């Protein structure tokens, strides 16, 4: 049977389907006014939300590109100003809080070395880490900082700014350092200081002097009497603060009395002679490993010479990360390639126990000698809390460098401060901006007999500075000098005169003349020391080792150098000082010279020339991308901005997880 087809008339008689408002060409809207208004509000709100996200995203991109950007500090080249990956410690002996670098753990995909301890910069105790039991001993990421990209659009970069720039050896990588050299200058680094002269001119140049705020911001901890080791007190290990008189070979008993306890050190002198000052001095010494063990075992250390001392050096607690191969701590070396990597601990590892458990596997710092510095630092900042009786006549502060005495005499009757420079009995002149000698440098201060004061005194960068109760004192003339006129290059060495004056073996002294005085705290800081080098291939240090080996006719090691620095009797005989290098760098228009605050561990403008990294770029891009890779400077075009603030240091893991580390939120200075 065949299917009957429909005729056109049948199709015409079928009712047409009803059109809706969505059909093409239909303009009718059957919704109520309320429905139409609700849809309008809904669609306009969605559009505004999308627009707000788009605008916010664009503004964020513009803000990041032109105003400010956040960066994370990966390494310790700017420590202790800025921390890279590190560990936080509190000394088990004296309570001093400090950090040690841990960037070494993150070199490569696998953690081959593990940081297991650190050396306290205050008492030099080797502190073990409790990796298994204390989550705050984990490795923390570096500081998160905010960088202004707009700062150098409106003004020129200033010396001592902390700057971010593109590394000339790899323009894809950001570096952060402190700006030291400016365009059209020739810089010379010698004995830890930096000298500058206009490029193209001859002469020695002038020393770069840091402003007072930068002196304080860039100083390094040496010692604080408030942080005392009770173990050393019980063992009668001699205090670093000792009474002294000219010619004394042991502390006089009828002078200052030193008391140490849990709250720190108190030094008191009564009925001081009105004609002769009574001195206390700082002697830079601490127990060695065997003495720490003896003290822990309850043995007496009273036989140690209280006047034994060594030079203040460029020791960095941050650089003295104590490491061992990871296999001695973990069952399997942790992976750096994964966001989270956990592994069990070796059964033999005693977490938090003495590091003697590792024996010869221990390594102090990158070269194994980080437990002490390699360079003598003579520039110091000292501070004391002093209480003077009504009949006190005078207070004297003294800093010694290269055998020269830099003194500040404070008249307790009228507050007059007088600065003096003495070489033996000879008084040496200060020097004004025009090079003219200045014989008298005085100021009026608030110091008076019968009062207590916090006094800070500094000899840094050939300039003496004085603060009374945290206020910088303004003197009537310049307080600057040129130490090169006091000591030639051959004479600019540590001095020691046993039985007469310890000089550089006791670089700080305080004296009172007349009445009674009490000193409740003494704090010592050192200035930054810039190593003179233009090559980092064998480490960053001052010495020409080939010359030193030739002079001594043997292979002198870094440990030998440290032994000399720690032994005053060797200072005159060992030919170390004459092998210190002097290096110069010439800058021209739009060229800047940055260096890291952690000088021995900083790859910076001193030594990055020749570190061209071209393997990752195609041949056609290399000439342009690495145009400055062989230069000892940063061109203006590679400047990114000025570091402003640490806005997010690492949080703590316990007792409250992710608790903010409030003490390290700060402006970058």
326 in the same domain as 413: no
* Minimum mean pLDDT range among 34-48, 175-189, 347-361, 600-614: 34-48
pLDDT band at 8 (very low <50, low <70, confident <90, very high): very low
Helix boundaries (H) for 121-223: 151-154, 212-217
Residue where one domain finishes, among candidates 486, 503, 526: 526
Asked whether residue 186 is assigned to any structural domain, the reply reads no
Q: What six digits make up the tokens of 351?
A: 């977490």
pLDDT band at 194 (very low <50, low <70, confident <90, very high): very high
Which residue from 376, 364, 103, 80 is spatially nearest to 221, judged by alpha carbons?
A: 80
pLDDT at 627: 75
389 in the same domain as 253: yes
Residue where one domain finishes, among candidates 496, 526, 556: 526
Cross-strand bridge partners of residue 408: 397, 419
On the question of pLDDT at 3 being above 60, the answer is no
Each residue of 323-360: pLDDT tens digit? Answer: 999 999 999 989 887 655 567 999 999 999 999 999 99
* Minimum mean pLDDT range among 80-89, 332-341, 392-401, 627-636: 332-341
Residue 342 annotated as catalytic = no
pLDDT band at 536 (very low <50, low <70, confident <90, very high): confident
Which residue from 207, 173, 216 is spatially nearest to 669, judged by alpha carbons?
A: 216
Q: What six digits make up the tokens of 497?
A: 């005169």
Q: How many CA atoms lie within 13 A of 334 on its CB side?
A: 23
pTM greater than 0.75 (yes/no): yes
The residue with tokens 């700057």 is 163
Size of the chain in residues: 669
> Which residues, at least 6 apart from 428, have a Cβ–Cβ distance to it below 8 Å?
404, 421, 422, 481, 485, 486
* Minimum mean pLDDT range among 37-41, 111-115, 208-212, 400-404: 37-41
pLDDT band at 619 (very low <50, low <70, confident <90, very high): low
Over residues 466-470, the mean pLDDT reads 98
433 in the same domain as 492: yes
Residue 354 annotated as catalytic = no
DSSP letters for 12-70: HHSPPPPP-TTSTT-----S-HHHHHHHHHHHHHHHHHHHHHHHHHHHHHHIIIIIEEE
Number of H helices, E strands in the chain: 9, 36
Asked whether residue 615 is assigned to any structural domain, the reply reads no
On the question of pLDDT at 259 being above 50, the answer is yes
End-to-end CA distance of the chain: 101
Asked whether residue 473 is assigned to any structural domain, the reply reads yes
DSSP code of residue 131: T
d(CA 121, CA 428): 34
- CATH number where 455 lies: 2.60.120.560
d(CA 87, CA 130): 11
Asked whether residue 443 is assigned to any structural domain, the reply reads yes
d(CA 452, CA 518): 9
| Residue percentage of the chain with pLDDT more than 90 | 78
d(CA 93, CA 124): 9
pLDDT band at 273 (very low <50, low <70, confident <90, very high): confident
Which residue from 493, 458, 279, 464 is spatially nearest to 375, judged by alpha carbons?
A: 493
DSSP letters for 340-368: S---PBPTT--TTS-GGGGGGG-EESTTS
425 in the same domain as 502: yes
pLDDT at 49: 61
296 in the same domain as 406: yes
d(CA 525, CA 65): 39
d(CA 371, CA 358): 16
| Residue 106 and residue 72 in contact, taking contact as beta carbons nearer than 8 Å | no
Q: What six digits make up the tokens of 274?
A: 């009105």
287 in the same domain as 345: no
494 in the same domain as 386: yes
Catalytic annotation, pick one of 87, 177, 528, 642: 177
Asked whether residue 215 is assigned to any structural domain, the reply reads no
Asked whether residue 469 is assigned to any structural domain, the reply reads yes
Residue where one domain finishes, among candidates 491, 511, 526: 526
Asked whether residue 550 is assigned to any structural domain, the reply reads no
| Residue 559 and residue 567 in contact, taking contact as beta carbons nearer than 8 Å | no
Each residue of 117-149: pLDDT tens digit? Answer: 999 999 999 999 999 999 999 999 999 999 999
324 in the same domain as 398: no
Q: Is 174 strand, coil or helix? A: strand
pLDDT at 13: 44
pLDDT at 260: 97
Mean pLDDT of the chain: 90
d(CA 550, CA 457): 41
Which residue from 188, 507, 562, 563 is spatially nearest to 378, judged by alpha carbons?
A: 507
d(CA 664, CA 144): 11
Each residue of 413-450: pLDDT tens digit? Answer: 999 999 999 999 999 999 998 889 999 999 999 999 99
328 in the same domain as 289: no
416 in the same domain as 296: yes
Number of domains present in the structure of the chain: 3
| Residue percentage of the chain with pLDDT more than 70 | 87
Each residue of 363-377: pLDDT tens digit? Answer: 999 889 999 999 999
444 in the same domain as 405: yes
On the question of pLDDT at 401 being above 60, the answer is yes
pLDDT at 150: 87
383 in the same domain as 291: yes
Catalytic annotation, pick one of 77, 103, 389, 536: 77
Asked whether residue 124 is assigned to any structural domain, the reply reads yes
Helix boundaries (H) for 271-349: 289-296
pLDDT at 378: 98
The residue range of the domain holding 390 is: 222-305+376-526
pLDDT at 641: 95
């Amino acid at each position: 049977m065949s299917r009957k087809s429909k005729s056109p008339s049948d199709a015409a008689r079928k009712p047409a389907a009803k059109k809706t408002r969505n059909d093409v060409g239909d303009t009718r809207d059957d919704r109520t006014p309320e429905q139409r208004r609700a849809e309008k509000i809904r669609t306009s709100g969605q559009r505004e939300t999308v627009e707000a996200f788009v605008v916010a995203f664009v503004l964020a991109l513009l803000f990041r590109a032109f105003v400010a950007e956040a960066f994370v500090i990966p390494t310790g080249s700017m420590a202790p100003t800025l921390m890279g990956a590190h560990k936080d410690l509190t000394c088990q002996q004296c309570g001093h809080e400090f950090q040690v670098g841990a960037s070494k753990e993150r070199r490569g995909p696998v953690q081959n070395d593990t940081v297991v301890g650190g050396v306290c910069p205050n008492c030099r105790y080797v502190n073990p880490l409790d990796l298994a039991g204390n989550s705050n001993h984990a490795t923390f990421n570096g500081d998160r900082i905010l960088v202004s990209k707009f700062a150098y659009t409106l003004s020129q970069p200033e010396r001592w700014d902390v700057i971010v720039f593109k590394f000339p050896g790899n323009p894809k990588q950001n570096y952060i350092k402190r700006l030291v050299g400016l365009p059209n200058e020739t810089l010379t680094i010698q004995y830890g200081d930096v000298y500058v002269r206009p490029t193209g001119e001859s002469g020695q140049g002038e020393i770069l002097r840091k402003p007072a705020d930068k002196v304080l911001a860039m100083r390094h901890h040496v010692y604080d009497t408030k942080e005392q080791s009770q173990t050393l007190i019980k063992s009668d290990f001699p205090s670093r603060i000792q009474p002294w008189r000219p010619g004394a070979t042991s502390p006089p008993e009828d002078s200052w009395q030193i008391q140490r306890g849990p709250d720190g050190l108190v030094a008191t002198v009564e009925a001081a002679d009105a004609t002769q000052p009574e001195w206390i001095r700082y002697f830079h010494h601490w127990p060695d490993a065997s003495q720490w063990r003896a003290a822990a075992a309850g043995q007496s250390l009273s036989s140690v010479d209280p006047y034994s001392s060594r030079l203040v050096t460029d020791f960095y607690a941050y650089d003295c990360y104590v490491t061992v191969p990871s296999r001695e701590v973990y069952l399997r070396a942790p992976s750096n390639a994964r966001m989270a990597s956990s592994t069990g601990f070796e059964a033999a590892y005693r977490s938090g126990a003495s590091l003697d458990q590792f024996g010869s596997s221990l390594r102090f710092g990158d070269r194994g000698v980080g437990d002490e510095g390699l360079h003598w630092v003579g520039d110091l900042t000292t501070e004391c809390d002093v209480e003077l009786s009504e009949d006190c006549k005078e207070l004297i502060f003294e800093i010694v460098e290269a055998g020269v005495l830099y003194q500040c005499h404070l008249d307790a009757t009228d507050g007059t401060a007088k600065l003096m420079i003495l070489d033996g009995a000879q008084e040496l002149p200060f020097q004004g901006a025009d090079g003219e000698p200045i014989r008298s440098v005085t100021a009026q201060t608030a110091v008076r007999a019968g009062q207590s004061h916090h006094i800070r005194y500094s000899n840094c960068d050939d300039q003496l500075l004085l603060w009374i109760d945290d206020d910088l004192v303004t003197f009537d003339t310049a307080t600057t000098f040129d130490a090169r006129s006091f000591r030639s290059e051959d004479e600019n060495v540590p001095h020691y005169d046993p039985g007469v004056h310890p000089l550089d073996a006791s670089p700080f002294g305080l004296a009172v003349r007349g009445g009674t005085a009490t000193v409740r705290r003494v704090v010592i800081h050192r200035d930054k020391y810039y190593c003179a080098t233009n090559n980092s291939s064998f480490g960053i240090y001052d010495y020409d080792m080939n010359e030193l080996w030739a002079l001594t006719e043997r292979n002198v090691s870094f440990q030998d150098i440290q032994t000399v620095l720690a032994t005053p009797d060797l200072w005159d005989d060992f030919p170390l000082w004459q092998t210190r290098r002097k290096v110069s760098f010439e800058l021209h228009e739009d060229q800047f010279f940055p260096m890291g605050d952690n000088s021995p561990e900083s790859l910076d403008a001193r030594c990055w020339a020749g570190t061209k990294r071209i393997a990752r770029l195609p041949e056609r891009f290399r000439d342009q991308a690495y145009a400055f890779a062989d230069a000892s400077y940063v061109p203006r075009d590679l400047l990114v901005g000025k570091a402003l603030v640490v806005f997010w240091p690492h949080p703590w893991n316990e007792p409250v997880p992710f608790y903010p580390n409030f003490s390290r939120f700060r402006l970058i200075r």
